[in-house]
């Protein structure tokens, strides 16, 4: 199994400055490292190197997206704003979307990394890919950034895949703990891209990610939000993949699957409360890999989004990459004993949330009607 891996040292040089969690330091907020910092992603890369699992992967050099690529999802005025901030003093390109000196070029390379992942799987150089891109992208909307995101990497990659390879159907699964409002809006009236977001309900952004937001016009039914209650763990996520994502994929028949992979649903994340374990991420990836093999010849590209636990994200991401490769490293999860007492089944409030989504979407999808009457 050839699994590609994409990263670039430049990703770690995107400078978000100092802060406290996601706020600027000052007053009673003592100066600290801003939570979307390079350390978490760098530690993923370091663990791959330290464990020698990097040797199992096909290392791919990302290319930069062009302005035309970025314009597929963003306005010229917004792109100009990011470019100006990057060339001058830096600043916020929206709502907690920090642009540092030189961040424009790095953000182009991050979007280009997602596009490079598409190239690798579509051209058969690898069966699947993990792209450790930074800055993340799924919150970025057409004319402003949000939630640490500058350019919408996965949305840009999906539009690139459709244009460059003539694809008619792309499935985007977003398992970041926060709703991917930017990806949603990029395809809200577009039936050629099925967007499925699994996220913590009422987390971020405010007023976003409701199950009733189903798309509009020709895209009605092609936007599937799965808001889950805090505390949903491995069992709940795997149930969603089995009861919603798999039947949708089999009915939609995508020619490519992209995953916006935030490891912030993890049990130790400071910005999420979903308690997914490293093993859980591995099982989720195995499920998506099987779905991809069944519907689109295994064409699966996974792009890094959020995840803010410096200690735990590397182990979660390693399990994702191992599942793509179908090979385990010799790395044992040192945090596994901490899983005792975490959810190991689907609780009634979680099943109710899943059933609500199935009921709403079964109006559009025959495959979910069968799930509704199970």
Active site residues: 139
Rounded to whole angstroms, the maximal C-alpha distance in the chain is 59
Helices then strands, counting H and E runs in the chain, come out as: 12, 14
Distances (CA, A) of 125 to 129, 133, 202: 10, 19, 40
Strand partners, 62: none
User: Contact, 20 vs 29, CB < 8 A?
Assistant: yes
Q: What share of the chain is helix, strand, coil (3-state, %, to 5)?
A: 40, 15, 40
Provide the β-strand partners of residue 266: 276
CA distance 297 to 128: 10
- What does the alpha-carbon distance between residue 280 and residue 233 come to, in Å, rounded to a whole number? 8
Q: Residue 27: which residues within 8 A CB-CB, separation 6 or more?
A: none
Burial of residue 178, with CB atoms counted within 10 A of its CB: 0-12 exposed, 13-18 middle, 19 or more buried = buried
Query: H/E/C letters for each residue in 35-50?
Result: CCCHHHHHHHHHHHHH
């Amino acid at each position: 199994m050839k699994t590609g891996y994409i990263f670039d040292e430049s990703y770690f040089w995107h400078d978000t400055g100092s802060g406290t969690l996601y706020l600027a330091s000052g007053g009673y907020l003592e100066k600290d490292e801003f939570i979307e910092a390079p350390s978490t992603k760098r530690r993923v890369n370091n663990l791959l190197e330290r464990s020698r699992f990097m040797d199992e992967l096909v290392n791919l050099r990302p290319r930069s997206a062009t302005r035309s690529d970025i314009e597929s999802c963003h306005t010229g005025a917004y792109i100009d704003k990011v470019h100006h901030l990057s060339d001058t003093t830096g600043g916020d390109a929206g709502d907690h979307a920090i642009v540092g000196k030189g961040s424009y070029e790095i953000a182009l390379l991050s979007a280009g990394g997602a596009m490079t992942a598409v190239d690798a799987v579509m051209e058969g150089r690898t069966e699947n890919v993990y792209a450790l891109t930074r800055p993340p992208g799924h919150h970025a909307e057409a004319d402003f950034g949000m939630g640490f995101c500058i350019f919408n990497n996965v949305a840009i990659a999906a539009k690139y895949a459709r244009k460059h390879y003539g694809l008619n159907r792309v499935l985007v699964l977003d398992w970041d703990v926060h709703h991917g409002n930017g990806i949603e809006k990029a395809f809200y009236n577009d039936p050629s891209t099925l967007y499925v977001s699994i996220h913590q309900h009422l987390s971020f952004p405010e007023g976003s990610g409701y199950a009733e937001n189903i798309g509009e016009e020709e895209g009605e039914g092609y936007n599937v939000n799965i808001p889950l209650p805090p505390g949903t763990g491995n069992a709940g996520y795997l149930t969603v993949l089995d009861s919603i994502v798999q039947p949708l994929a089999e009915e939609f028949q995508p020619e490519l699957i992209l995953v916006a992979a935030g490891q912030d649903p993890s049990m130790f994340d400071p910005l999420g409360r979903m308690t997914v374990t490293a093993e859980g991420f591995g099982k989720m990836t195995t499920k998506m890999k099987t779905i991809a093999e069944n519907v689109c010849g295994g064409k699966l590209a996974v792009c890094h989004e959020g995840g803010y636990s410096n200690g735990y994200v590397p182990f979660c991401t390693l399990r994702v990459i191992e599942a793509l490769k179908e090979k385990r490293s010799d790395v044992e999860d040192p945090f596994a004993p901490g899983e005792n007492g975490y959810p190991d089944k689907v609780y009634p409030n979680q099943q109710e949330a899943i059933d609500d989504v199935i009921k709403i979407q079964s109006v559009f999808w025959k495959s979910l009607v069968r799930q509704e009457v199970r």
